Amino acid sequence: MVTPTARWCTIPIRTHTRGFYAEGVMVPKPRVARLGELPWVTRHIKKNSLVVDAAPINRGRIDHEPTPQGTLAQPREPWASIPQRLRRKERGKMASKRSQTLDLVVYLVIRAVVCVIHAVPPVIAFWLSDRIAWLLYRYVPSRRRVALENLHASFPELDTQRAEDLVQAMYRHLIRAVFEVLLLTRKLHLTNWRAFVDLYPAVGLPATLFSSRPALIVTGHFGNWEMAGYLLGRLSFKTYAIARILDNPHLERFVKRLRQATGQTIIAKHDDFDRLTSVLTNGGKVSTLADQDAGPRGVFVNFFGRPASTHKAIALMAIEFDALIVATGVPRVSRSDRATGVPLPGMESTFYAVEVEEIIDPREYATDPDAVKSITQRYTSALERLIRRHPEQYFWLHRRWKHQPVARKKKQAA
């Protein structure tokens, strides 16, 4: 390390795919990106040099073992504790940047809307949901374009008018489903659940829930994906659901309270891995969404005729914990030809069916050298079949095919 003569010194660096080299030491990119948060480093990196506070360097606080080019340096203390400190600092900064007043205002507005939904008859609440859906379709063109692109790629036979009709129907369904979840927290009870949900298509689900083996209940942003967990909790089944923590702390508490109102337990998506492991080890039943883009490191499987990056975690957990995978969906269906309870006034259209498309046993892939991809493809295909039967109830707004295999990108570039 250079011996500076002034308080601030400049260390020459050169870029690398994984970070920067400074005086023969490899500094990973994530750290370089946040070096400005440390008290002994300046707030910026000037071109090909790293400007640091010389005083702590002289005191030996920034001390690395020289490492060969292309390898990561193993930092000494206090660098060993920097990642955890940086995470705390980063979260603190993000919290400070977010306006606490704005978070509170958004929460109060949403709570006011919820109060209105509960106060007015369901007919008026659903009229309001349809107006909100129309506004979103009309005045958020960027999301509308994404949905139309996804629909045309998934259903090439659709003409423009049919695709636009499906997008409008999707908005109406999604907003109405949100309103229904809010209403059902007060209207769905153990004595009248048959007026809202048909469990008979869920062949194999009761046996799985009563089994001593752990289970992963896999679904997508399809139908009313919150309904199944809420109903199972109401029927006294102990289930867990993996969910992302919302940025707004007030909304997070409100939504979590709704989700756990009937006994379902929420496991944080990124922070509760130990808890998730404990649940599966003890034969717990965990539901999760499995239709999100997993980035360039996901496993690519076929979804509507195109490679889609999918998380490996579900297949890996199924193999590790010997857990059954239940591919399911909760679409809105007609009441006709179904044994249902008496619907509440104004909620005749609020009726769903819990449909189990496939149950996958990881033991069937014990000799498969690529079991993770095979299992992932199987439950992804099951979700696709559900969506094809009710395309207007799928969340076409997110970029499910955002990342593509590298070979495919090179071919397109050529």
User: How does pLDDT run across 128-182, given as a tens digit for each residue?
Assistant: 999 999 999 999 999 999 999 999 999 999 999 999 999 999 999 999 999 999 9
Q: Under a CB-based contact definition with an 8 Å cutoff, are residues 147 and 132 in contact?
A: no
Which amino acid is present at 30? P
Q: Among the listed ranges 38-52, 194-208, 272-286, which one has the minimum average pLDDT value?
A: 38-52
Indicate whether 397 pLDDT > 70: yes
Tokens of 32: 């370089």
Look at residues 281, 369, 354, 270 and name the one whose alpha carbon lies nearest to residue 317. 281
In the block, tokens 């990881």 appear at: 362
Q: Classify residue 308 as left (phi > 0), alpha (psi -120 to 50) or beta.
A: beta
Q: Which of 28-37, 103-112, 332-341 has the lowest average pLDDT? A: 28-37
Distance CA 141, CA 52 (A): 46
Tokens (6 digits) for 132: 């909100």
The H or E element spanning position 287 is: strand 285-289
How far is residue 364 CA from its own chain's centroid? 28
Cis? peptide before 78, omega within 30° of 0: yes
Q: What is the pLDDT of residue 93?
A: 54
pLDDT of 386 over the 90 cut: yes
Band the pLDDT of 412: cuts 50, 70, 90.
low
| pLDDT at 77 > cutoff 90 | no
pLDDT of residue 297 exceeding 80, the answer is yes
Intervals of CATH 3.40.1130 along the chain: 188-413
In the block, residue with structure tokens 């559900």: 386
**What pLDDT sits at residue 197?**
92
Q: Are 25 and 64 in contact (CB under 8 A)?
A: yes
Given a cut of 50, whether residue 56 has pLDDT beyond it is no
Question: Does pLDDT of 213 surpass 50?
Answer: yes
**Structure confidence at residue 97 as a pLDDT band (50, 70, 90):** low
Residues linked to residue 309 through DSSP beta bridges, in sequence order: 300
Instruction: Reply yes or no on whether the pLDDT at 318 is more than 90.
Output: yes
Q: What's the helix, strand, coil split of the chain in %, to 5?
A: 45, 20, 35
Tokens of residue 384, six digits: 């696709």
pTM (two decimals): 0.74
Checking if the pLDDT of 65 tops 70, the result is no
Q: Return the pLDDT at 200.
A: 83
Side chain identity, residue 190: L
3-state secondary structure of 8: strand
Helix axes 313-321, 371-389, angle to 10 degrees: 120
Residue 72: pLDDT above 70?
Answer: no
The pLDDT, as a whole number, for residue 55 is 39
pLDDT at 74 over 80: no
Amino acid at 38: L
Parallel/antiparallel/unpaired status of strands 8-16 and 49-53: antiparallel
Which of the two residues, 274 and 384, has the higher pLDDT score?
384
Contact call for residues 10 and 4 (beta carbons, < 8 A):
no
DSSP 332: B
pLDDT over 90 percentage in the chain = 57
pLDDT at 253 over 50: yes
How does the average pLDDT of the chain come out, rounded? 80
Sheet holding 25-28, edge to edge: 25-28, 19-22, 8-16, 49-53, 41-46
pLDDT at 340: 78
Least confident of 85-99, 171-185, 351-365, 384-398: 85-99
Rg (C-alpha) for the chain, rounded Å, is 26
Token pair 């046993």 is found at: 361
What is residue 88's predicted lDDT score, i.e. its pLDDT? 54
Cβ atoms within 10 Å of 368's Cβ, excluding its own: 12
CATH architecture of 188-413: 3-Layer(aba) Sandwich (3.40)
Q: Over 70: is that where the pLDDT of 19 sits?
A: no
Task: Find all residues with CB under 8 Å of 249, minimum gap 6, and list them.
Answer: 103
